[in-house]
Structure 1
Amino acid sequence: MAQFLKEEIRKRIIESAIKEFREKGYDKASIKNISKGADVAVGNLYRYFENKEALLKEVVNPVFKELAQMINTENMLENIDYKSYIFDNLNRFLDLYIDNKTIFFIVIDGCKGTKTGYIIEDFIDMLADNINNLVNKFNTDSCINMYEFSHALAVAVVQGGISILRNSKDEDVKNNFFQYISFLMNDFAERINKI
């Protein structure tokens, strides 16, 4: 029974932290408010989490580990139908976003200046690697620096995607995101060959 209570307290702390980080961002979030929201003494909270950043990491890492697995895969180049592969992963991404919207916006808006705040940059780098591999599959003769091109395209995908997530109603987010990616992917191989 005591083990169940410990897990229950841990869950309450995490839920309170999610609320506090989303409302105030990491910098302005307070351990005192998190412990109050979880109905736990501050000292007891520190038995579960070493500090505020450890708590933030606990909140966001499970979602972003799954996201990294989607992005950092080698299968894309082995898959003959790369568009289907991309759209299948995009669908998985959007399901993950819908199930964890608050956590996504904690990272997007609220953890700059922390180790966790670099998740978006890490995500862009992983996406750029995949785009670079895809670009090189279609264009091996280019004079331009393909990695710089791929990185710029990854930034555009991520920032455009964040804009869609931020501005779309929940019921429209999938359709809007698929339209955006379809627009970017339209005649991708042919356009790459023209570079």
Structure 2
Amino acid sequence: MQYLKEEVRDKIKKEALKEFKNVGYKGASIRRIAANSNTSVGNLYKYFDSKEALYENIIGSVYNRLMNYINELGKVELNEKACDIFYKITEKVMEIFRESSIEIAVLLNKSQGSKYENCKSYFVDFVTRTVTEVTIYELSKRGKTLSDNFIIYLLSNSLVESISIIVKEREDGEVVRKLIISVIDIFFKDIEDKVNI
């Protein structure tokens, strides 16, 4: 009997993810999710108390995994070994994109009305801060300074928006991963040579 309950729960989550992807958190309908899951609204509420709880169950776990690695990146001490550590953590982040590209597409593009609606701004701030710190460190090794990080801020916005488009347009996790790595390389490779110094 427990198997049937888990099967119903999984069906609800599968249909909810489709609903969130198609119409976003704000436009999602519990009635539609229940109908598409072949269950009643009352039965759906036995598994998830609200639309917010359902969204949190699906999107929150992916967001929390991303944030754990982002927080790890933020703790990396800048030194000669930092590049290797950044690479390892970035690979873990890319693995999340490979495994959960649809959930990330919803997170980045369809979160209006949820507690995650400002996550893009947070990611832009994080990328800007991290790339700025790395750039300052790399420039200091050359005896140079960074006078302004505005270009880094622009590139960070472009990166996050590009990732949002990639996960919206491509569902194959491995393709998503490769595209994101390519875009990161295009925007930030040799960034210390591109910024206004």
For this structure pair, what is the TM-score category when the shorter chain's length is used for normalisation?
0.7 to 0.9
Task: Give CA-to-partner distance per residue, 1:83-118, whole Å, 9 cap, x none.
Answer: 444443333333222211221222233222321222
Which residue is 1:108 aligned to?
108
SS at match of 1:115: coil
Tell me which residue corresponds to 1:153: 155
Query: Compared with structure 1, are the counterparts of its residues 106 and 169 closer, same or farther at alpha carbon in structure 2 (3 Å cutoff)?
Result: closer
Change (3 A) 1:13 1:174: closer
Distance in structure 1 (CA, Å) of the matches to 2:192 and 2:180: 20
Where does the alignment leave 5 or more consecutive residues of structure 1 unmatched?
none
Q: Which amino acid aligns with 2:155?
A: L
| 1:72–1:130 Cα contact (<8 Å) kept | no
1:1-195 pair list within 5 angstroms:
1-2=1-2, 4-73=3-72, 74-78=74-78, 80-139=80-139, 141-144=145-148, 146=149, 150-167=152-169, 170=172, 172-191=175-194, 195=197
Q: Which moved more, 1:63-72 or 1:78-87?
A: 78-87
State the shift of 1:78 in Å: 4.2
1:33-83 residue CA offsets vs partner (Å, 9 max, x unmatched)? 111222322122223322212211211011111111222224433452444
TM-superposition CA deviations, 1:115-145 (whole Å, max 9, x none): 122222222233333223323424574443x
User: For residues 146 and 155 of structure 2, what CA distance do their matches in structure 1 show?
Assistant: 16
State the AA in 2 paired with 1:113: G
Unaligned runs of 5+ in 2: none
Identity of aligned residues (%): 24
**Which is worse superposed, 85-94 or 33-42?**
85-94
TM-score, normalised with respect to structure 1: 0.78
TM-aligned CA deviation for residue 149 of structure 1: 5.4
Q: SS of 1:76's equivalent?
A: coil
Contact 2:94–2:177 (8 Å) recurs in 1: yes
Measured on the aligned residues, the alpha-carbon RMSD in Å equals 2.9
Cα distance in 2 for residues equivalent to 1:169 and 1:64: 18
Q: Distance in 1 between matches of 2:109 and 2:130?
A: 25
